[in-house]
Amino acid sequence: MSTYDKSPYVQVGTAEDVLARLPTGRVTVVECYPGVRPSDLLPLLDADLVVDVAEAYRTPVELAALVADELTDDPVFGRLSTRGIEDFFDPDRLAQLRSRVAACPGTVALHGTGASLVVPYDVLVYADLPRWELQQRQRSGELGNLGADNAGERPALLYKRAFFLDWRAADRLKAQLLERVDAFLDTTAERPLIVDGAAVRRGLAQVAARPFRVVPFFDPAPWGGQWMRAVCDLPAGPPNYGWCFDCVPEENSLLLGFGVERLELPALDLVLSRPAELLGERVRARFGDEFPIRFDFLDTMGGGNLSLQVHPLTEHIRDEFGWGYTQDESYYLLDAEPCAHVYLGLRSDVDPDRMLAALREPDFDAAEFVNVLPARKHDHFLIPAGTVHCSGAGSMVLEISATPFIFTFKLWDWGRLGLDGRPRPINIERGRRSLRWDRDTGYVQRELVNVVTPIDKGEGWRCERTGLHEAEPIDTHRHWFTGRVPHETHGSVNVLNLVEGEQVTVEGDFPPFVVHYAETFIVPAAVGSYTIRPSGPSVGAQCATVKAFVRP
């Protein structure tokens, strides 16, 4: 029976914090994250003049021309936009809208993305939406991009535009508003939920002082497997589940409990509102108000190989895409079939020109150019940027990485199609710019495979360093234990996964926090000291956690 909790929440308030209706004033603004449906808002708005501020946007053609240089015509990549939501508005239409509001003798309700920028207001409501729900609406054909007439476009193109433009602009505005919001409106579920703004801020402060989990989401993949379906008790519908995003706060949800109600907010709201407590000042100084550590699952148990790929070097990702750091990562094997393997680094005899030419041929043989290594449960493979790599079939990978999201250059995809029936984009030329040809067989064996160093031990526990590579900003420690293990955040957010054992309990200056096998959890930097011990069915049994943190 699965113990994996797919809907974790933090109880932070009471039923009194839930509001029966939206607060109102002479001018009420409902600021919306892109993707919120106007139809979910209109029944809640009671005013003499109700206006969707999208009527003051630039036309889709005008907006497309304005952002063309940032979005580019590439099917996957653009350049991170520095524009704000104010750039979506047409100056003349915005002036006309402001005149309408000024001329109205009664009450006014403005709604939409950018509503808070139109006129001074008395009441501010924020209608929020997690990015995962937004993506589901895009995939269904219901939703296009902000200010664009492109609903029904290929989901990959919708995601690209949202990633490089819409979300950047909306998050900048959200960061300015969170401390001023009078009420938060959860529009994820069919029945919108309204919660007092001050109560939500108190709840976020509580979360930033204790361990918590975000809401994981699961997705099929061309190479996906069947392990997560059983271990995480997933529905039978899709043919496989390849991905689980169990700690990507920019895209995961955070569930806050208010009495029996559950308010679903983007976990990004916590990052933006409590960055010092969550990340730690040292980490924040290095990465800004961004969560720097990503944990996700890659399931190829009963599936196929991932694409052969490489991540950009730091100078490449900065110069071409405008991102300040790259996706250094690692593969930790949660489980593996007897035949499991990974592709990692180049063979020592590889000729670069010959390999680059062969990648363009339909019969490319990866094993001729790339090391194929056996993969066993609890192996840890380190993958600094510039290293060619690929998880092979038969593996259950806990991927531990920095968090630049989509910056992966596929070099070879085994001649298959994506789930949409189209070939997945290959980026050989971009990959060539970042491939480190010196990451060969000898380097891989010395530097990247099970580089385990004992760190410390005590009664009933031992700690060892397993990576990441010294060139990467993130480090990982693995603890094996049958007793209580002391931990300390040392000024950095900690992210952990229970990789061995059925159940443990995390304790400290917060309510005891129970974690089950394969669950990822976050310990904010502000927690400081905490302990982890086997509990429930794991008492007396050996358990293990893998912990990631930003190096001092």
From first to last of the 552 residues of the chain, give the pLDDT tens digit. 889 999 999 999 999 999 999 999 999 999 999 999 999 999 999 999 999 999 999 999 999 999 999 999 988 888 989 999 999 999 999 999 999 999 999 999 999 999 999 999 999 999 999 999 999 999 999 999 999 999 999 999 999 999 999 999 999 999 999 999 999 999 998 889 999 999 999 999 999 999 999 999 999 999 999 999 999 999 998 999 999 999 988 889 999 999 999 999 999 999 999 999 999 999 999 999 999 999 999 999 999 999 999 998 888 888 887 777 777 899 999 999 999 999 999 999 899 999 999 999 999 999 999 999 999 999 999 999 999 999 999 999 999 988 766 778 999 999 898 888 888 889 999 999 999 999 999 999 999 999 999 999 999 999 999 988 887 889 999 999 999 999 999 999 999 999 999 999 999 999 999 999 999 999 999 999 999 999 999 999 999 999 999 998
Q: Which two tokens stand for residue 229?
A: 């379906």
CATH architecture, range 278-447: Sandwich (2.60)
CB atoms within 10 A of CB 219: 15
Which residues, at least 6 apart from 235, have a Cβ–Cβ distance to it below 8 Å?
none
* Cα dihedral value 227, 232, 236, 241, nearest 10: -50
How far is Cα 287 from Cα 525, in angstroms, rounded to an integer?
Answer: 14
Q: What is the pLDDT of residue 61?
A: 97
CATH architecture, range 10-207: 3-Layer(aba) Sandwich (3.40)
Domains 278-447 and 453-550 share a fold: yes
Query: Which of 377, 410, 371 has its CA nearest to residue 395?
Result: 377
Which residues, at least 6 apart from 387, have a Cβ–Cβ distance to it below 8 Å?
310, 311, 344, 345, 436, 439, 448
**DSSP letter string, 365-412:** -HHHHEEEEE--TT-EEEE-TT--EEE-TTEEEEEEEE--TT--EEEE
Domain ranges of the chain: 10-207, 278-447, 453-550
How far is Cα 477 from Cα 463, in angstroms, rounded to an integer?
Answer: 7
Residue pair 221/162 in contact by the 8 Å Cβ criterion: no
Q: What is the pLDDT of residue 408?
A: 87
CATH architecture, range 453-550: Sandwich (2.60)
Q: What is the pLDDT of residue 484?
A: 98
